[in-house]
Structure 1
Amino acid sequence: MKPLSLLLPALIPSWNFFDVIAPSPRIEYALTASSAVPKRGWTEFRPRPQRVSARTLLARLLWNPRWNETLFLVSCAERLINAPTDHSQDEIFTRLAADLTADGATGDWLSFRLVFVSREDEAIQREVLFQSAPRRLSVIAAR
């Protein structure tokens, strides 16, 4: 009977799995020509598609490494808000730089910020909770 009581929580998930249900931070980045902190020109990193076909959805159930990496970045962003570490910031910078250089992005300095988006009545509220200091894109990409 004891093994069954240990196995049941794994088979039947609990609604108390999450301590807190809160909005997930969105990562936005900016590429600039100088080391000044950008005021505008922010772009959402890996925005969700508006629509996904049934075929793509089924394929993603079996193989979706890009989404797994995006979930890892979200967990790094959440850690950066709750308990800031250089590791979380470095991971976000590294993966941003890898994607941007693979896409042929131009700019010398890379910054990112974490934005929480929420709805109040009919208005969409955006709150910036963290903004990184700019780093040279070429240095990050060389790692």
Structure 2
Amino acid sequence: MLRLISLFLPTVIPSWRFFNTVAPSPRIEFRLIEPGQSAAHAVGGWQEDRPRPQHLRLWQMLQRMLWNPQWNEQLYLFSCAERLIEAPSQHSIDEINQRVARLLPQGAQELQFRLVFLSREGVRVVKLVEYESRPVPLAQIQEGPI
């Protein structure tokens, strides 16, 4: 009977030991650049893609526990970003470009994204840029299939 309980308990109570390491996820930031211009002519500064809300009401938290497709997509983007850091691939670059561009209005600008890690050093928060993509025309990304 004890053996049966020891086999059953891990299915009911999840174990977090399946992670190899626990590390911060890279954040995705983007900017739009005027076509034919250098990165110094960016339309705006770097912006965080899909920033988290500062405050959620209790009802919103409960609702998000049951239905949150936006967060599922954000987790997918985190996964693509982590893979891009570990083993760069065009697939990860394309996925991040397409999903960031989907939320932007159509235009003639070029989209560029970067992956940053935030760490705390004493009271300061330090931002480390790990990857910066090359600018790609926004219209070209938005036309492609997802």
TM above 0.5, one fold?
A: yes
In structure 2, the residue matched to 1:16 is 17
- Match of 2:16, SS? coil
1:97-136 residue pairs with structure 2 within 5 A?
97-100=101-104, 104=105, 106=107, 108-136=109-137
Give the C-alpha shift of residue 27 in structure 1: 0.2
Runs of 4+ in structure 1 displaced over 4 angstroms? 1-8
Alpha-carbon offset, residue 7 of structure 1: 4.9
- CA contact 2:106–2:139 (8 Å) conserved in 1: no
Aligned to 1:59: 63
Q: What displacement does 1:108 show? A: 1.1
**Quick one: distance in 1 between partners of 2:19 and 2:131?**
23
Counterpart of 2:68, as a letter, is: N
User: Could you report, residue by residue, the CA deviation over 1:75-113 in whole angstroms, capped at 9, with x for unpaired residues?
Assistant: 10001001111111110000011111xxx3655100000
TM-score (structure 2 length as normaliser): 0.86
How far apart are the structure 2 equivalents of 1:92 and 1:136? 14
Q: Secondary structure at the match of 1:34?
A: coil
**Alignment partner of 2:103: what SS?**
helix
Structure 1: gaps spanning 5 or more residues:
none
Aligned identity (percent) is: 49
The residue aligned with 1:138 is 139
Distance 2:55 2:136 in 1: 34
Contact in 2 for aligned 1:118/1:125 (Cα 8 Å):
yes
Q: Secondary structure at the match of 2:139?
A: helix
Whether the 8 Å CA contact 1:25–1:116 is kept in 2: the answer is yes
Q: What is the alpha-carbon distance in structure 2 between the residues aligned to residue 69 and residue 37 of structure 1?
A: 31
TM-score, length-normalised on structure 1?
0.87
Question: Matched residue pairs, number?
Answer: 140
Q: Report the equivalent of 1:34.
A: 35
Residue 49 of structure 1: aligned partner:
53
Distance apart, 1:8 and its partner CA:
4.2
Q: Once superposed, what is the RMSD of the aligned Cα atoms? A: 2.1
Tell me which moved more, 117-126 or 27-36: 27-36
Q: Indicate if the aligned counterparts of 1:36 and 1:134 stay in contact, CA closer than 8 A.
A: no
**Which 5+ residue runs of structure 2 have no aligned equivalent?**
none
